[in-house]
Amino acid sequence: MNKTSIQKKLDEQKNHLESLVQKAKANGIDQVEIFSSYGYAEEVSLEKNDLNNCTATEENMFGIRVIEKGNQGFITTNHLPSLYESILEARDLAKSQTTPDPDLVLPEAQPLEERPSQYDESLDKLGLSDLVEIAKSSLQWRKENFPKVNIDSGDMSLSKGFKLIVSSKGVNASQLGAGISASVMGMAVDGSDVGSFDYDSASGNDYPYFAEKWKTAFQTFGEKCMGALGAKSIPGFKGYILLPPDAVYSFFLGSFIGALNGTGIRKGKSKMAGKLGTKVADSKLSIWEDPTIDRYAGTTAFDREGQPTRKQSILKEGVLETYFYNTYEAKKAGLSRSNGFATGGAQALPGCGPRQLQIAPGTADKDDFFKLPEKTLFVNRISGTSDGPSGDFSGVVKGSYLLDQGEKIPVKEVQIVGNVYETLNRIVGISKQGELLGESYWAPYFLLEGFTITGMGDGN
């Protein structure tokens, strides 16, 4: 499967979906939308320090939405020949609804910008045999450099495909994509000393870029696993926590970003309701969405509803500047149309959320964060619970360290509690350096203050 064959499939399918939409309109179905997601993937998996399986999969899913007089029906199918029958089923579902909503409509077509292609044809030269070689070399690298690290699972995959949306409102948009990725999960074991699980991954649009990223990611994975050996219980303290880029998103900003969802805002389930134009975070923090960056995984000209995407500010120097809206939530908020934040694919109705967030770098050098005179807990990841509406969280840190006057001490049985929204105003520093996560989100290191860290031991 190469770019030419995928483009041919896309062109043929686009013509077919256009004809189905016209047929539906001719039969009185005025609002119909078909979202198609096609993917071809080859994958090699790892398990228990060895090759496990090689697979090739192909899938084409269609999400069909019909709106009739403010009522909505939605069908998911993978059967191309019966798509028109699925349109009729979606219409019947819409007609069976008894709570019409005048704001429930399909969006009109809007002009779309040209965006760089996310399909690098150099990936067409790769296949399963190349993925096997990547896997074998990774296993050999582990054996030579990190023999005490056990790989519990992992995978190397090559994926290609397209997304396509056609609607009776004139929406007609498509995009090809291809990428190569790898991930690994495991832990270090030294006799009776078992470290905590850790994980790392890499991805890219072309092989040379991916290969360099994967080499770094695998090295980092090995070092993190080995660094977790000899973990100690420590006494509790109140002070700083240091978050690396991946923890900034998974641990710190997840609840806050989720609170900007238009649905939660409308239903009164978000702490950020009514906060537009107000300062909700430290002035050091600025965040924006940018789906225009060349070679990034989330780069796209259109969202789940075929509406245009653009670079736009989310948080500027601590001031909240926008929420995430699809067409329905935008209408409910009194807006004429969405702001391009409809998310999802063929298997679900459009949601609300970002695709490619970027956090502004700060002015601090990340290395200085590791040399603070005060006790600092480096939080690699956290296993616990969080409550989206309130922002409260608690959990046990995993694969983490106590940084104490130049010492880097792996810790265990350490808990932290806090509130995301309060933490937004406890930012001591943001690093100039950062990482690109999943080839989409960019984040720096964060130093935060005012945390209660609960330990279980006396430090001996």
Give pLDDT tens digits for 12-36. Answer: 999 999 999 999 999 999 999 999 9
Instruction: Give residue for tokens 């990034």.
Output: 296
Q: Which helix (H) or strand (E) holds 258?
A: helix 254-258
Under 8 Å between Cβ of 397 and 415: yes
218 and 247 housed in the same domain: no
Is pTM, for the whole model, over 0.85? Answer: yes
279 and 411 housed in the same domain: yes
Under 8 Å between Cβ of 33 and 106: yes
211 and 312 housed in the same domain: no
349 and 220 housed in the same domain: no
Using alpha carbons, list the distances in angstroms from residue 68 to 90, 104, 107.
10, 9, 14
249 and 214 housed in the same domain: no
Last-in-domain residue among 191, 225, 259: 225
241 and 216 housed in the same domain: no
77 and 130 housed in the same domain: yes
Residue-level pLDDT at 249: 85
65 and 48 housed in the same domain: yes
Residue-level pLDDT at 458: 43
Among 229, 242, 47, 231, CA closest to 156: 47
172 and 60 housed in the same domain: yes
Last-in-domain residue among 182, 202, 225: 225
Residue-level pLDDT at 383: 80
Give pLDDT tens digits for 292-328. Answer: 998 899 999 999 999 999 999 999 999 999 999 999 9
Report the 10 Å Cβ neighbour count for 243.
25
Under 8 Å between Cβ of 299 and 118: yes
239 and 193 housed in the same domain: no
Under 8 Å between Cβ of 15 and 127: no
What is the count of structural domains for the chain?
2
For residue 178, give its domain range.
3-225
Beta bridge partners of 164: 36, 174
Last-in-domain residue among 171, 201, 225: 225
Residue-level pLDDT at 80: 96
| CA gap 325, 63 in Å, rounded | 20
171 and 260 housed in the same domain: no
Give pLDDT tens digits for 98-157. Answer: 999 999 999 999 999 988 888 999 999 999 999 999 999 999 999 999 999 999 999 999
| CA gap 408, 403 in Å, rounded | 5
| CA gap 226, 391 in Å, rounded | 33
Runs of H (alpha helix) within 53-202: 83-96, 128-145
| CA gap 356, 334 in Å, rounded | 26
What CATH number is attached to the domain comprising 102?
A: 3.30.2290.10
Q: What is the mean pLDDT of each run of 10 residues along the chain (460 residues)?
A: 96 98 97 98 96 96 97 97 98 96 97 91 95 96 96 96 98 97 96 92 94 95 93 90 91 87 95 96 97 93 98 98 98 96 97 96 95 92 77 85 89 88 94 94 95 69
398 and 305 housed in the same domain: yes
